[in-house]
Chains A and B, each alone.
Chain A
Amino acid sequence: MASPAIPAEPTDSAAPARRGPAAPLTARLVTLVEAAVAAVVGAWIGAWWVPFVIGVAAGLPRAKWSPLSRGGVLPAVAGAIIGWLIPVWVLALRGQPAGATARAVAGLAGLPPYAGVTIAVLALLAALQVWVGAWLARAVFPRAGRSLATDDLGEQQHRKNSATPRDPQT
């Protein structure tokens, strides 16, 4: 007879895409802010690939050395989008014609000439980079690697999984 705890707990053999327990709100907010800051700084120094790095960091097993990983991927996506929109917002705050520029860029790129189109593409590129980066990280370090995690949630989960006999016959 199987232990009732077994089906209630995730297993280490879960696919990388499978979600772990939800991160606390604080961790998510921290991740969002950190991702936004990283994206802004990256944009201003011309490092357009920073959202990808954010994604990699967010997709790593939860580790103290990878603070972004504690909040999950979605906050990182949101943070990267916000981080990429901030420079545009700052342009507008400085009195520069950000909206008209967005419209011109859309037109020059052969897209419908609306500012919103460029903004949407911008957000999409940031989000796409984060998602793909996270996917790569999880593929390289699947959830099984979480047993090596040293953060609280990961450690707790590791212990639970270790204490639970996976196969009653063993």
Chain B
Amino acid sequence: MVNLVGAAVVSALLLGVLGFGFGAIPALGPALDPGRGAWTSAAGGQPVSSERLHLQGLTAAATVSFNAQGLASVSAGSTHDMFLALGYVHAKFRLSEMDAERRLGEGRLAELSGASNLASDEFELRLGLLRTAQNEWARTTGATRTALLAYAQGVNDDIAQVRAAGDWPALFSLTGQYPRPWTPVDSLVIQGVLTQELDYTTGPLDYALLQKSLGQPKTADWFPTLATNAQTPYDPGPYVKLPLTPVAADLASSAPSGATTAALAGSGGATTRSVDSAAVTDAAASVLDQLSQLLPYQIHHFPDSNAWAANGPAVASGAAVLGGDPHLPQTLPSIWYEVALSAPGYQAAGASVPGVPGILLGHNAHIAWSLTDTQNSATFYYAEKVRGSQYYSDGAWRPMTVVHYEIPVRGGATKQLTVDITAHGPIISQHGQKMAVDWMGNVPSDDLGALLGVNTAANFTEFKAALASWHAPTQNFVYADTSGHIGVIAPGYYPQVPQGCQPWLPMSGTGACDIDGVIPYQAVPQAYDPPSHLIATDNQRPVSGDYPYYVGTALDFYDPGYRAAHAYSALQAAEPLTPAKIAALQNDLTDPLAVRLLPAVNQALADAGLSGEDQQAAAALQDWNGDMSQDSAAASLWWTFWGSYLNTVFAPWWQAGKVPVSKDFFGLGIAGLAPLAEDLETWTLSDPSNAAFAGPKGHGPKSAQAAITAAFKKTVAHLDTKLGGAPATWTWGKLHTREFPSITGADGLGYGPRPAGGDPFTEDAADGGLNAETGPSWRMIASLSSAGVQAQGVYPGGQSENPASPWYQNLIPLWWDGKYLPVPVPGDTSGLTTWRLNG
């Protein structure tokens, strides 16, 4: 009997677990079924072959041509069919990625991967990407609506084909979670995810904690509005002060501000700008705790993109040249899909985003463009006075909008979530003081309409007009055209608050510091045909201190300006510019900060009377030019020294003030704070006796020279312990690597880690630590002349997301070696392989 019961129970358990899964364990029976399970994804790993395909919704024949590297060219008889074919192609090669991205934005990751992603889902549903996307879709009309519908049809055509054939990408088979039909809202959610990754920041929360730890005077001194070091804004002025533009009504992620609770109106106290700072810092810490549980890169950390343009005498031949390399998390698959699009009235090529129709960075027959993040302050936090389901604002108690969500959790119970929304936005804190976030990414933005306008623009006037409806994320759109003009404009919402409010800190939610408008489009940072014939945007503060509007403090992730200054000087030195010279600069590994500081550092070390290994190591820096190549021992010494120098000066202050670095490593840690680098650079060069060197108790090194010597000795000791041998053998590649991880997080499906050069300050940036995972995600160079646009590009990855495909990571070697491929030409159907699509 025992045997029978045992056999029955084990059989039931085995079949149950295999058939339905258990907890996070997927249903392995159907998942690994060798005839129908994940094995069928091998079909998507086969080299693409020429074939005829039937697509529902096509109104006429279309073609998709692939070259040997998998770069695609879509040609159709109408923009409707072109976007439909693009949706189909994106889904054919990136369906898992697209589904994962929309799940991320729509708060449905836990359904796929279990409770480990519940924090992400809760955050996203609170923040409201889905609400915003639904709001945007309700307002979308005309060509943008047509494009989104056609694109969704193309994605769904692929889903239907895959469903019929059963050859799902392995991720779906393994999890048993198959994609639901694609909708235009999904595309807008992915647009929102990108906006969030580029634009959502925690600056005010970090500032509040720094101020609590270090005190107001020191925080204001070390984290000023304007960086202390020399900067090179691309828009140096003169500026005009125009009246603010009202922010478009946000009906989805903020409550209507007009409704009040009449009986209680006016009974909540005065409208005030002051907040309870202790309660606010506690709430800030609580929110940062919550954000620390998110996936990497869900909020913005690293400012590392480049985009340059040159014209006139600055270029060797032709009319203009443009180079662009946005620095983003480098993943497999990449965020980009390279494609050329052709239809009557529409010819564009470059980098597209799977899930979204159009070309985000690229060129058409007349112009080329690339983007860098503007980094302005677009995330404001408000401490709300709350009573039950009401909040106090403008002298009255008002009802919060309440939204309920159900979050399915794989292997667990469905989670209920309630989101309270005030006029500022969703309540984002979970404990203590209620904190709402007013984020410009929650304001409906016709980014796609703007992008499609850019794709078809023929001159700067049309380019600029198209971008007027772009609200978030604020981006520096760098431009060049075949007539030899260059320009840049940074469209987007730059929120402004009344005089006396402090937007770099959480503000009072009672109404006194509400956003009262944004910088008018005519006055946003911009430049056109500058006398220098050069434009360089490298995430530096785009305007000078004379700019009459608030665009954020030095803490707001603006780059310290090293790359921008280096780009301007290197481009000028290399004139007349050619595409090859642009390529050389995109792959440049010079650390401009090292170049600036080396004379002072070497002098300090020479005066310090070093001996033995310290002396040998110092000698390696003497003739070094700042090149962070992987075979450079000086590069190891420099970067380790720089970290040690920062710590020598600032760590005593951080320890004394008990700065809660664990709450936000990138926003509170010494190594991640750009203003500290700017401060230390300035003090080293022009204020070597700054009081900061002495430390909080006066026992510190007291001068830059002493701090440099102490930091250098620590550096040598550290490297000796870590690497051993002589200093000449301490090459950078032994310490520093690059890795392109799989977006699934699966070991073995990424690339690297591999020894690599670069650091966060080099043009070929490597950010995210000693194993860098952020850097140039796409490199493009466009040469423009009256004959047209010649473009070349490359990204570290491949066109297919299927690890078994020959196009999974085939472009990485080219990227790694600094090589480029011609960007596919719109309308060119002469590729090795062609799909002929019919309706």
Contacts and interface: CB of A to CB of B under 8 A. Distances in A.
B452 interface: no
Nearest to A126: B34
A11 B29 CA distance: 38
B692 interface: no
A5 interface: no
11 contacts: A48-B19, A48-B37, A52-B15, A84-B34, A87-B35, A97-B45, A104-B41, A105-B41, A109-B174, A136-B8, A136-B10
B14 A128 contact: yes
Interface stretch (B190-198, B644-652, B739-747, B786-794): B739-747
A120 to B, nearest CB: 11
B7 A110 contact: no
B803 A107 contact: yes
A44 interface: yes
Interface of B: 3-4, 6-8, 10-11, 14-15, 18-19, 26, 28-30, 32-39, 41-43, 45-46, 166, 170-171, 174, 742, 744, 746-749, 802-805
Nearest to B748: A113
Contacts of A103: 748, 803-804
A104 B746 CA distance: 9
A104 B33 contact: no
A170 to B, nearest CB: 26
Contacts of A110: 746
Contacts of B35: 40, 42-46, 87
Nearest to B26: A109
Contact of B39 (A15, A49, A91, A125): A91
A105 B19 CA distance: 18
B34 A139 contact: no
A140 to B, nearest CB: 7
B25 to A, nearest CB: 10
A118 B28 CA distance: 11
Given A97-B46, A135-B10, A104 B749 contact: yes
A21 interface: no
Contacts of B34: 43, 84-88, 122
A46 B30 contact: yes
A16 interface: yes
B30 A48 contact: yes
A136 to B, nearest CB: 4
A45 B36 CA distance: 7
A112 B28 CA distance: 17
The DSSP consensus for interface residues of chain B is: helix
Contacts of A132: 7, 10-11, 14
B39 A101 contact: yes
B7 A136 contact: yes
Contact of A107 (B19, B28, B749): B749
B804 A49 contact: no
Contacts of A129: 14, 18
B182 to A, nearest CB: 22
A96 interface: yes
A106 interface: yes
Contacts of A14: none
A131 B45 CA distance: 34
Contacts of B41: 101, 104-105
Contacts of A98: 39, 42
B30 A140 contact: no
Interface string A66-99: 0000000000000000001111100100011110
B15 A100 contact: no
Contacts of B14: 52, 128-129, 132
Contact of A108 (B36, B45, B746): B746
B415 to A, nearest CB: 23
Contacts of A61: none
B38 A105 contact: yes
Contact of B11 (A15, A46, A104, A136): A136
B799 to A, nearest CB: 16
A154 interface: no
Interface residues of A, number: 48
A107 B746 CA distance: 5
A6 interface: no
A139 B10 CA distance: 12
A125 B299 CA distance: 41
Interface in A24-60: 40, 42-46, 48-49, 52
A121 interface: yes
Contacts of B32: 48, 105, 118, 121-122, 125
Interface of A: 15-16, 40, 42-46, 48-49, 52, 84-88, 91, 95-98, 100-110, 112-114, 118, 121-122, 125, 128-129, 132-133, 135-136, 138-140
B36 A133 contact: no
Contact of B3 (A16, A40, A96): A16
Contacts of A100: 42, 45, 803-804
Which of B4, B7, B8, B747 counts the most A-chain CB atoms under 10 A from its CB? B7
B45 A96 contact: yes
B171 A125 contact: no
A133 B11 contact: yes
Contact of A139 (B8, B15, B26, B43): B8
A48 B27 CA distance: 11
Contact of A49 (B19, B171, B742): B19
Contacts of A113: 746-749
Contacts of B29: 48-49, 125
Which of A48, A84, A98 counts the most B-chain CB atoms under 10 A from its CB? A48
A41 to B, nearest CB: 9
Contacts of A109: 26, 174
A107 to B, nearest CB: 4
Contacts of A135: 7, 10-11
A95 B46 contact: yes
A107 B38 CA distance: 12
Nearest to B96: A108
Contact of A104 (B10, B36, B37, B802): B802
A132 B7 CA distance: 7
A31 B70 CA distance: 48
Contacts of A140: 4, 7
Nearest to A101: B42
The 3 A-B residue pairs whose C-beta atoms are closest, nearest first, are A113-B748, A43-B35, A100-B804
A100 B46 CA distance: 11
A104 B748 CA distance: 8
A132 B11 CA distance: 6
A43 B33 CA distance: 6
A107 B751 CA distance: 13
Contacts of B11: 52, 132-133, 135-136
A122 B28 CA distance: 9
Given A44-B36, A49-B18, A139-B6, A104 B804 contact: yes
A112 B32 CA distance: 16
Contact of B742 (A43, A107, A133): A107
Contacts of B8: 136, 139
Nearest to A118: B32
Nearest to A128: B14
Nearest to A87: B34
A133 B804 CA distance: 35
Which of A85, A97, A104, A136 counts the most B-chain CB atoms under 10 A from its CB? A104
Nearest to A89: B34
Contacts of B45: 96-97, 100-101
Which of A105, A110, A135 counts the most B-chain CB atoms under 10 A from its CB? A105
A127 to B, nearest CB: 12
A105 B169 CA distance: 10
A87 B40 CA distance: 10
A76 B46 CA distance: 34
A139 B12 CA distance: 14
A46 B748 contact: no
B173 to A, nearest CB: 8
A42 B32 CA distance: 13
Contacts of B37: 48
A140 B33 CA distance: 28
B40 to A, nearest CB: 9
